[in-house]
Amino acid sequence: MTPLVDLGPHVSFIVAAYAIAVAIVAGLIAWIVADHRAQLRILEDLERAGVTRRSAAREEI
Amino acid sequence: MRLSELANPSRFNTLTERVLPWLVVATVLAFALGLYQALFVAPDDYQQGATVKIMFIHVPAAWLGMMGWALMSVSALGTLVWRHPLADVAMKTAAPIGAAFTLICLVTGALWGRPTWGTYWVWDARLTSVLILFLMYLGAIALWRTVEDPSRAARAAAVLTLVGAVNLPIIKFSVDWWNTLHQPASVLRLGGSTIYPTILMPLLIMAVAFTLLFVTLHLSAMRNELLRRRVRTLRMMRAAAANP
């Protein structure tokens, strides 16, 4: 069976470069998504505890 | 909408919520097209063979690594000169993203260098100046984490960023000013690109994909930072209420 793409004798360098780039980008995305969820959770906890901004209080009135 | 109207964080959040899904779709489509072109359409280089495929991630990552610091420098001016409400948020959140792209550039460059130059690393002007850029990113991130008050941290980080911006032209012109193992500019140069169109086109598509990824991640990170600042304000209000 012939490979889909022939990457020649330096295949390990090419695959490693793409794999590391994907890993770094995936880590960055995971960190940003996790941070977003964490901040929303903390905000919800604070608001449930009755801590709100003055502007939010005015909006409710 | 005027640019100054975006200075309002809630308006920025509303716009970001609307734009982000489209940006995610555009990024995925650009990467699908770019990777297809890079891996299946672009021919091997007559000298480097298939290792030229590393260029399709190395070069856009290098551009975005530099663009990240340029964006931080513009934001630094926004912080110091105009005290733009979102400028320091933009500056702070661009640092880890720029650092990640610079790291990709350094690692893929080393992996490209071994089969083509016979070494992973040399202390030539281009490689060293990009390594300095990466270290400056780490310094900026550390500075933001060291100073607790965001506005004081922003002013210190803005000064560091503007001083560090001197490194950008050094990176760009290092291959012209000094004798380097790294090749001279072959895309962004006077007289036009020296790359054959069948390799240049996938490279440009990948550059667009990387740019879209950067913008998507940056807007998401800015949204997170605004949430973090709201959390900080609420915690301070709670502390003030507990200790009148």
Of the candidates B71, B58, B61, B83, the residue with the CA atom closest to the CA atom of residue B165? B71
Q: Which domain holds residue B73?
A: 52-184+193-229
Task: Please answer yes or no on whether A14 and B107 come within 8 Å at the CB atom.
Answer: no
- DSSP state, B41? I
Q: How big is the A-B interface in CB pairs under 8 Å? A: 99
Task: Please answer yes or no on whether B112 and A42 come within 8 Å at the CB atom.
Answer: no
How is chain A split into domains, by residue range? 23-60
Selected residue with higher pLDDT from B199 and B214:
B214
Q: Rounded to an integer, what distance in angstroms lies between the CA atom of residue B56 and that of residue B90?
A: 27
Please state the domain count of chain B. Answer: 1
Report, as an integer, the average pLDDT of B134-148: 95
Written as six digits, the tokens of B192 are 């036009």
Residue-averaged pLDDT of chain B? 91
The answer to whether residue A51 scores a pLDDT higher than 90 is: no
Q: What is the pLDDT of residues B81-124, one digit of tens each?
A: 988 878 999 999 999 999 999 999 999 999 999 999 999 999 99
Asked whether residue B36 is assigned to any structural domain, the reply reads no
Q: Write down the ipTM of this complex.
A: 0.91
Contacts of A25 in chain B (CB under 8 A): 100, 104, 213
Asked whether residue B236 is assigned to any structural domain, the reply reads no
The three-state secondary structure class of B66 is helix
Contacts of A5 in chain B (CB under 8 A): 39-40, 50
- Of the residues B54, B64, B219, B226, the best mutation for testing chain A's interface (the one with the most A CB atoms within 10 Å of its CB) is B54
Q: Rounded to an integer, what distance in angstroms lies between the CA atom of residue B234 and that of residue B231?
A: 5
Task: Provide the pLDDT for residue B240.
Answer: 84
Asked whether residue B28 is assigned to any structural domain, the reply reads no
Q: Is B88 exposed, middle or buried (0-12, 13-18, 19+ CB in 10 A)?
A: buried
Lowest mean pLDDT among B133-137, B153-157, B224-228, B236-240: B236-240
Q: What is the pLDDT of residues B206-219, one digit of tens each?
A: 999 999 999 999 99
Contacts of A56 in chain B (CB under 8 A): none
Residue B10: pLDDT band (50, 70, 90) is confident
